[in-house]
Structure 1
Amino acid sequence: MNSRLELVAGYKDGKSYVKDLYVSLPFRVVSVGQRKNDTKLYQMVMSSSPGILDGDRYHLEVSLEKGASLQLQSQSYQRLFNMEDKATQLLNVSMEDNTSFAYVPHPIVPHESSNFKSEAQIHMGKNSQIIISEIITCGRKHYGEVFKLKRFQNLMEIYHENKLMIKDNVLIQPDMIPIHGIGNLEQFTHQGTLIFYSTKENVDKDALIESILNADEANNADMEIGISAMENNGFIIRALGHGGEMMYNFFLYVQEKLWSLP
């Protein structure tokens, strides 16, 4: 199935709003910011499908006009079903000046023989920031499907003024890469990545990293995290653990901390 989502976040009279929205099956987008007391936009991406199926091609286009702030949320865990061939997803995000975008979705659950490639390209304007993450689980552990997927890849590129600032490539292919080997996941079953990048000038990334490392959420015995600071205003969090919910809640905590930055 070829599925498409197009969302334009506008900004008017000091508030962010949905300026344009188009979805095809199985997508649906609903507002979830009714109880927020700020002027930002909160939208949840929902799906009528139980998960991503063989041959699915998802295309998501997200645009933020000058001044807009958009936080996307997911409905539930994303399942990747058994596949003869593969499924793909393409996410394009265009951010004008003075914008903020956040997307911290639920974990991905790859079933046996699933084959999925996701690509994301983000183009950022001046005085803007992005928070984006992914969590990949081992699969349906209680069904004995521990890393029985064929292949999973998530390729992310972030540009500023048409210059590539960040390129992150997560590849899991158990028949070629020893997933439990040294330097890979070893004894862990879940891997998470959260990227924060800002083109603002007043971001104290060192203080943010220190506060995240010292947070109770980060000091969980069942999860290990590491943070790599970038040369400019940004950092990448890598997390390893044994549960998706614990890691997801930690990423939500980090998102909330960064989302409130001026």
Structure 2
Amino acid sequence: MESSIKINVEREGTYSVLKESYHNAPYKLTHYGAPRAQEHLEMIIMSASPGIMDEDHLAIDIRVRKDACLKLFTQSFNKLHPMKKGATQDTIIKLEANSILQYVPHPVTPFKDAIFHASNRIDMHDTATLIWGDIISAGRIYMNEAFQFQKVHSRTTLYRDGKLIYTDNQCLMPHEQPVQKLLFFEDYTHQAAFIYSGPFARQMKEEFDEILAGSYENITFGFTYCADNSILLRALGHDGELLYSFLTMLSQMCWEFTQHQQQLLINESVLLSQEIGDKKNPESKAPAKKKSRKKTAA
């Protein structure tokens, strides 16, 4: 089945609004709560299907215009059913100046004999911010289907002002590779990747150094400054829901930090404009002179 989801978000006044959208069966795109409950826009992708079937193809197109902010959610785990030919998902994202996108979908769960190809291309303006997550499961663990899928190939490329700054090309074929061992899942059943890319990444890295200094129960992780203005975190665990909650916590932290930093820049810009205006018109700040009254003789 050929399916498509399109989202176009723009800024109107102080609100980010959905200007254009499109979806077809089995997917549905709807507001996550009240449309104007907050200044940013929150949307959720829902599906009436039990999962992705053989020969399915989903195309996702997301555009976040200048100064707009979007949080995009998913409904549930992305289940990949048994296949003979395979299924594909292509995501194209464009982020304009000062825009923010947060997108941390639920984990991908490949069933036995699943074949899946995912491609993600993100084009960003230099001042835009991306908060992105990705979780892959070994399969239906409690159905004894761990690493029984045929192939899961995921590629993510990130461009800033037309320049490639990050690429992640991961191809998992359990029947041909030791995916359970070192450099793959390392005896864990779930792996996650988290990317924070934007003009405040260096400051965010300093926050991570303090907040993530300790250990988290049942999660092994590490993070680094992977490219210009970009942080990459990778995590391993045995529980998809736990990893999803972990990435959701990180994404909210990054979201609030980004908006705070943007507000600081706006405040600084306003103060600078006032100072420039005062220098151009020094008389506007000079105290008004009191008019003297002449006394007349009685």
Structure 1 stretches of at least 4 aligned residues deviating more than 4 Å after TM superposition = none
Give structure 2 stretches of 5+ with no counterpart: 260-298
Q: Is the 8 A contact 1:56 1:87 kept in 2?
A: yes
Aligned equivalents of 1:195 and 1:242: distance in 2? 21
Scaled by the length of structure 2, the TM-score of the pair is: 0.83
Q: 233, 237, 256: which is aligned to 1:237?
A: 233
Q: 251, 262, 265: which is aligned to 1:255?
A: 251
Q: Which residue of 2 aligns with 1:211?
A: 210
Q: Which residue of 2 aligns with 1:46?
A: 46
Aligned equivalents of 2:95 and 2:135: distance in 1? 24
1:37 Cα offset (Å): 5.4
* Pairing of 1:27-106 with structure 2 (within 5 A): 27-34=27-34, 38-106=38-106
Query: Percent identity over the alignment?
Result: 28
The one-letter amino acid of 1:253's match is: M
After superposition, the Cα gap between the structure-2 partners of 1:115 and 1:202, relative to the gap in structure 1 and judged at 3 Å, is closer
Scaled by the length of structure 1, the TM-score of the pair is: 0.94
The one-letter amino acid of 1:210's match is: D
1:98 aligns to what SS in structure 2? Answer: coil
1:185 Cα offset (Å): 1.4
Q: Is the 8 A contact 1:205 1:234 kept in 2?
A: no
2:181 aligns to what SS in structure 1? Answer: coil
Q: Which residue of 1 aligns with 2:12?
A: 12
1:116 aligns to what SS in structure 2? Answer: strand
The one-letter amino acid of 1:206's match is: K
Aligned equivalents of 2:210 and 2:34: distance in 1? 29
Aligned equivalents of 1:42 and 1:116: distance in 2? 28
Aligned equivalents of 1:104 and 1:89: distance in 2? 16
2:18 aligns to what SS in structure 1? Answer: strand
2:45 aligns to what SS in structure 1? Answer: strand
Aligned equivalents of 1:170 and 1:124: distance in 2? 22
Aligned equivalents of 1:236 and 1:36: distance in 2? 32
Q: Which residue of 1 aligns with 2:112?
A: 112
Answer with 1 or 2: which has the greater Rg.
2
Give structure 1 stretches of 5+ with no counterpart: none
After superposition, the Cα gap between the structure-2 partners of 1:140 and 1:96, relative to the gap in structure 1 and judged at 3 Å, is same
Aligned equivalents of 2:249 and 2:131: distance in 1? 12
Q: Is the 8 A contact 1:189 1:241 kept in 2?
A: yes
Q: Is the 8 A contact 1:33 1:41 kept in 2?
A: no
Aligned equivalents of 2:124 and 2:92: distance in 1? 11
The one-letter amino acid of 2:52's match is: I
1:84 Cα offset (Å): 0.7
The one-letter amino acid of 2:7's match is: L
After superposition, the Cα gap between the structure-2 partners of 1:127 and 1:209, relative to the gap in structure 1 and judged at 3 Å, is same
Root-mean-square deviation over aligned CA pairs: 1.6
Q: Which residue of 2 aligns with 1:157?
A: 157
Choose between structure 1 and 2 for higher RCO, CA contacts under 8 A separated by at least 6 residues: 1
Larger strand percent:
1
2:142 aligns to what SS in structure 1? Answer: helix
Q: Is the 8 A contact 1:66 1:98 kept in 2?
A: yes
The one-letter amino acid of 1:243's match is: D
How many matched pairs? 258
2:119 aligns to what SS in structure 1? Answer: strand
The one-letter amino acid of 2:250's match is: V
Q: Is the 8 A contact 2:35 2:42 kept in 1?
A: no
After superposition, the Cα gap between the structure-2 partners of 1:36 and 1:191, relative to the gap in structure 1 and judged at 3 Å, is farther
